[in-house]
Amino acid sequence: MAAGSSCPICREAILSESFPTVCGKCHQALHEECLQTGLVTDSRCPLCRTDLASAGYSLRGEVHHPERRRLSEQMRTAAFPTALFQELHEVVAGINVLHDQVQRHVRNPALIAGDVVHSAAVLTRRARALAAQVFSVPGLPQEVMDRLQQILADLWPILERIVGIVDTLLVESRARDQLAELDARLRAARDSARSAVPRSRQPRRSAPAPAAPRRPPPVRRRPAAATRAVPVRKRPAASISAAKRTKPVKAVQLKQTRKITAAAGSKRAAAKTTSRSRVAKTTSRSRVATSGKRAGQKVAACSSGKRPAAASRKVSASSGTTVRKKR
């Protein structure tokens, strides 16, 4: 059978780049590891039950003849299936223990160890040996054999995944160890470089600034028991702000009214002075006019030889008085 088919023992595909083993009689391709595990207990082909010691099997173009081996009579009896199932339970229990170890190492990678990889490899070999021995058990029903093969085929990917996780953890732990070693070397080189440099060339470190002294907290004195704290009525913020707003407005209004009254008073005084000056001017003009009129009358009377009316009146008045006196 050509490469690319599946192995009847582990139920996994046979890759084209691998070198499978081929039975000399039935020409069935098997994994080399699966066949070698089965040949440890029985030298017969797991499928056709032909003795490979005589028929042989081919590997990489060469024909091999293993040693003739047979299962003991105890293994051929009914006790063999019981031992087979016991071995299967032990393999499953070992896988559980291995899983717990891996979980512990995942939580703390510093505890990773190489024995985990060794345990996984041992469990894988035991599972493959069980798969090879299933075909050599006489009297097992086909359903049981298929079920066992399926269980073992499901166990191998789990084991391989665990081995891969452990390998990754090992690589990470080694990388951490290498980083720690590199850090230690760098520190040693830095210390040696500092010691090699003279003290005079070393940069001076500025002294730290002195810390300011801490002031003791102020002592809070409590009021005496006899004194009672009088509650202070606080004006609401709205009224305070309104009062603050109204004060400057009232002052401005008062200044404006004072200015207006001062301007009105000055206008009144100016009006009084102007009226007085006008009255004085008119009176002086009227006096000048009357005096001019009288002077004109006198001049006219003198030129005509007549006395002025006022003089005649005085004369008449004086003559009258004289007349009255004579009487």
Contacts for 71 with CB less than 8 Å, ≥ 6 apart: 41, 42, 80, 136
Q: Which of 134, 107, 102 is nearest to 120 (CA)?
A: 102
Rounded alpha-carbon distances, angstroms, from residue 207 to 46, 131, 200, 213: 85, 77, 17, 18
Answer whether CATH 3.40.50.2000 is correct for domain 1-70: no
In three-state secondary structure terms, 71 is coil
Check: pTM over 0.85? Answer yes or no: no
Contacts for 213 with CB less than 8 Å, ≥ 6 apart: none
Give the separation between CA 11 and CA 4, rounded to whole angstroms.
12
Rounded alpha-carbon distances, angstroms, from residue 77 to 48, 84, 128, 137, 180: 21, 12, 22, 9, 60
Both tokens assigned to 47: 């499928």
The domain locations on the chain are 1-70, 73-190, 244-276
Q: Which of 50, 28, 308, 180 is nearest to 39 (CA)?
A: 50
Strand order, beta sheet including 29-30: 29-30, 21-23, 57-59, 62-64
Query: Is the distance from CB of 109 to CB of 176 less than 8 angstroms?
Result: yes
Q: What pLDDT was estimated at residue 305?
A: 59
Amino acid occupying residue 120: A
Q: What pLDDT was estimated at residue 171?
A: 72
Instruction: Classify strands 62-64 and 29-30 as parallel, antiparallel or unpaired.
Output: unpaired
Q: What pLDDT was estimated at residue 3?
A: 46
Give the separation between CA 127 and CA 154, rounded to whole angstroms.
10
Q: What pLDDT was estimated at residue 307?
A: 54
Q: What pLDDT was estimated at residue 244?
A: 55
Q: What pLDDT was estimated at residue 190?
A: 74
Q: Which of 40, 42, 145, 52 is nearest to 28 (CA)?
A: 52
Q: What is the pLDDT along the chain (327 residues), one digit of tens a residue?
A: 444 577 777 667 777 656 677 877 787 787 777 777 667 666 677 677 777 777 777 777 777 777 655 544 444 444 455 556 666 666 666 666 666 666 666 666 555 555 666 666 666 666 666 666 666 555 566 676 677 777 767 776 777 777 777 777 777 777 777 777 777 877 777 777 777 655 555 555 666 666 777 777 777 776 655 555 556 566 555 555 555 555 566 677 777 888 888 888 787 888 878 777 777 777 777 777 777 777 777 767 776 655 555 444 544 444 444 444 443
Give the separation between CA 25 and CA 45, rounded to whole angstroms.
9
Rounded alpha-carbon distances, angstroms, from residue 272 to 152, 269, 275, 282, 310: 135, 5, 5, 15, 39
Q: Which of 33, 207, 270 is nearest to 132 (CA)?
A: 33
Q: Which of 31, 17, 25 is nearest to 59 (CA)?
A: 31
Q: What pLDDT was estimated at residue 78?
A: 45
- Phi/psi for 240 (5° steps) reads -60, -45
Q: What pLDDT was estimated at residue 160?
A: 72
